Amino acid sequence: MQMELHTTPLKLGSIQKTFERLNKLGYNTVFLQYSDTCPFRRHKSLRGDFVYSRAQVRKINDMATEHGLNIIPSTHSFSHSDILLNRNKYVHLAESDAKSSLCLSNLESVDLMAELAEELLELHPRAEYIHIGGDEIAQVAACPACVSALWKCGRSGLFVEFLNKVADRFQALGVSPAAWSDMLIRFPESIDDLSRRFLIFYWDYWSSGERQPFLTIGGGFGDMIVLDKSAIQGDFAVMVNFPSIRMLHDVPQGLAKLYRPY
């Protein structure tokens, strides 16, 4: 279960009621996304207008334990990094002028992920995983350093190499990393080299139910691949007419071979 504590910070009473309901429904884990509501100490400039107190976070931990829930916390991601990169201290870590994600070639990006994880572990000492984001990166390898790296290992290799460096730093902290799946699915060539310490979160916007007549190789609208056009009804029948949506015969052969067994 994912709880967003950034865009709409919840009061402790609401969090308590949510945890109670999750327990009754049989959940055992909750994914808490803080972003700038986290009470940072080392990186105080990343605090937003509203910040949970450290006492409130301890209470959230206690409530989770009371209701049999493990917490996977996250704060600023290396993707969707606009809040972070709009701080002067971190702007040099931007992948591009769009300031939407961290540069994957800059070792300071790895340092920052590790330092933020260390702060989260102070707040959630029982956490086994910390989520680092990684979804919907519009510009992979846009800066000169990353473009140079493309010649050596391609986008997939660059992405996986960054993740593995983060995993090594997290191992030293005694915690494992978690990340979203869509960029790994979009650039899968080096996925076998990914650290097995990662917990991968799969998601897409479109699926509901056990089986669907389409496949999403990422999270976005342009990543939809229609498997059986005749089986798509209702609103989806309108969407499949958009040129950005691909039919099964348009799937890149490398992806088709890799994912055919599934």
Q: Which residue has the tokens 């310490």?
A: 197
Q: Kindly state whether residues 142 and 30 are assigned to the same domain.
A: yes
Residue 52, SS3 per DSSP: coil
Of the candidates 183, 203, 223, which is a domain's last residue?
Answer: 203
How many CA atoms lie within 13 Å of 156's alpha carbon, on the beta-carbon side? Answer: 15
Of the candidates 158, 174, 203, which is a domain's last residue?
Answer: 203
Size of the chain in residues? 262
Q: Kindly state whether residues 213 and 156 are assigned to the same domain.
A: no
> pTM for the complete prediction?
0.86
Tell me the residue range of the domain where 223 lies: 207-262
What average pLDDT score do residues 104-115 get? 96
| Cα 212 versus chain centre, distance | 24
- Structurally, the chain folds into a number of domains equal to 2
What average pLDDT score do residues 146-153 get? 88
Q: Kindly state whether residues 128 and 162 are assigned to the same domain.
A: yes
The tens digit of pLDDT for each residue in 166-222 reads: 999 999 999 999 999 988 888 889 999 999 999 999 876 666 666 777 777 665 666
Give me the sign of the Cα torsion angle 85, 91, 96, 101. negative
The angle formed by the CA atoms of residues 190, 131 and 116, to the nearest 5 degrees, is 110
Measured CA distances, 177 to 77, 103, 159 (Å): 12, 18, 14
What average pLDDT score do residues 44-59 get? 96
Kindly tell me the burial class for residue 132, based on how many C-beta atoms sit within 10 Å of its own C-beta (0-12, 13-18, 19 or more).
Answer: buried
Amino acid at residue number 75? T
How far is residue 122's CA from residue 171's CA, in Å, rounded to a whole number? 16
Specify the higher pLDDT residue, 124 or 144: 124
Is the predicted pLDDT of residue 54 greater than 80, yes or no? yes
What average pLDDT score do residues 33-45 get? 95
The tens digit of pLDDT for each residue in 125-139 reads: 999 999 999 998 888
DSSP 231: G
> In the predicted model, what is the mean pLDDT of the chain?
89
Specify the higher pLDDT residue, 51 or 259: 51
Q: Kindly state whether residues 136 and 252 are assigned to the same domain.
A: no
Q: Pull the structure tokens for residue 114.
A: 């590790």
